[in-house]
Amino acid sequence: MERVDGMSIGNVNSAWIGAYPYADKTPRNNAAKAENTGFMRFAEKAAQKAAGAAAVDNAVENIAENPVEKYPAVLGEIGKNAPEKVKQAFTEAAKETGGFFTSAGMWISADGKHCQMTKMFVERFVRWLHGETQGCDMLGSTVQGAINAVNRWMYDLDHPLMGAAPVKSGDKWLVEKERRFYESFRDKLEKLVQTDSAEGAAADRTEAYKGYLKQKYGNVRYESVGKDQKSLDRVGKGMSGNDVIIAPNIVEEMANDSEKAAYYEGKIDDYFHAIPRLKAQFAAQGLNHTPGGIVIHEDGSVTYIGGCDNDTPETRAKIKAEQAAKRGRRERYQELAEETAERRREFAEWQYHKILMAEALQTSGFGMEKYLFIGQPQVSAAAYKRAVGAYGGREAALEGGSQ
Could you report the per-residue pLDDT of 216-271, keeping only the tens digit for each? Answer: 898 999 999 999 999 988 888 888 888 999 999 999 999 888 899 999 999 999 98
Q: Cα-flanking dihedrals φ and ψ of residue 289, to 5°? A: -80, 130
Distance CA 351, CA 373 (A): 11
**pLDDT (average), residues 186-195:** 91
Q: Cα-flanking dihedrals φ and ψ of residue 30, to 5°? A: -60, -40
Alpha carbon 99 to chain centroid, angstroms: 41
Distance CA 55, CA 63 (A): 12
216: Cβ–Cβ under 8 A, 6 or more apart, which residues? Answer: 265
Flag whether pLDDT at 358 surpasses 80: no
Terminal-to-terminal C-alpha distance of the chain: 174
| pLDDT at 401 (0 to 100) | 46
Helical (H) or strand (E) element with 308: strand 302-309
pLDDT > 70 fraction of the chain, expressed in percent and rounded: 68
3-state secondary structure 229-246: HHHHHHHHHCCCCCEEEE
Residue pair 298/250 in contact by the 8 Å Cβ criterion: yes
Distance CA 67, CA 121 (A): 19
Q: Cα-flanking dihedrals φ and ψ of residue 132, to 5°? A: -85, 75
Is the alpha carbon torsion for 162, 167, 169, 173 positive or negative? negative
Flag whether pLDDT at 7 surpasses 50: no
- Please tell me whether the overall predicted TM-score, pTM, comes out greater than 0.85 for this model: no
**pLDDT (average), residues 79-88:** 90
26: Cβ–Cβ under 8 A, 6 or more apart, which residues? Answer: 53
Flag whether pLDDT at 273 surpasses 50: yes
Distance CA 65, CA 67 (A): 6
Residue pair 155/215 in contact by the 8 Å Cβ criterion: no
Distance CA 35, CA 301 (A): 77
Amino acid present at 326: K
| Structure letter (DSSP) for residue 81 | T
Q: Cα-flanking dihedrals φ and ψ of residue 240, to 5°? A: -115, 5
Query: What is the three-class DSSP state of 379?
Result: coil
- The residues that bridge with 3 in the sheet, in sequence order, are 8
| Structure letter (DSSP) for residue 5 | T
Pick from 123-132, 168-177, 387-396: least confident: 387-396
The full DSSP string for 315-354 is HHHHHHHHHHHHHHHHHHHHHHHHHHHHHHHHHHHHHHHH
Higher pLDDT, 294 or 29: 294
Could you report the per-residue pLDDT of 297-336, keeping only the tens digit for each? Answer: 999 999 998 877 665 566 667 767 888 888 888 888 888 8
Higher pLDDT, 331 or 132: 331
Residue pair 341/317 in contact by the 8 Å Cβ criterion: no
Flag whether pLDDT at 113 surpasses 80: yes
| Structure letter (DSSP) for residue 109 | -
Distance CA 357, CA 378 (A): 12
Q: Angle at Cα 317 formed by Cα 316 and Cα 320, nearest 5°?
A: 85
Distance CA 360, CA 383 (A): 10
Cα 137 to Cα 92, 122, 123, distances in angstroms? 20, 14, 11
Q: At what angle do helices 248-256 and 172-217 cross, to 10 degrees?
A: 100
Mean pLDDT of the chain: 74
Distance CA 21, CA 114 (A): 9
Residue pair 47/164 in contact by the 8 Å Cβ criterion: no
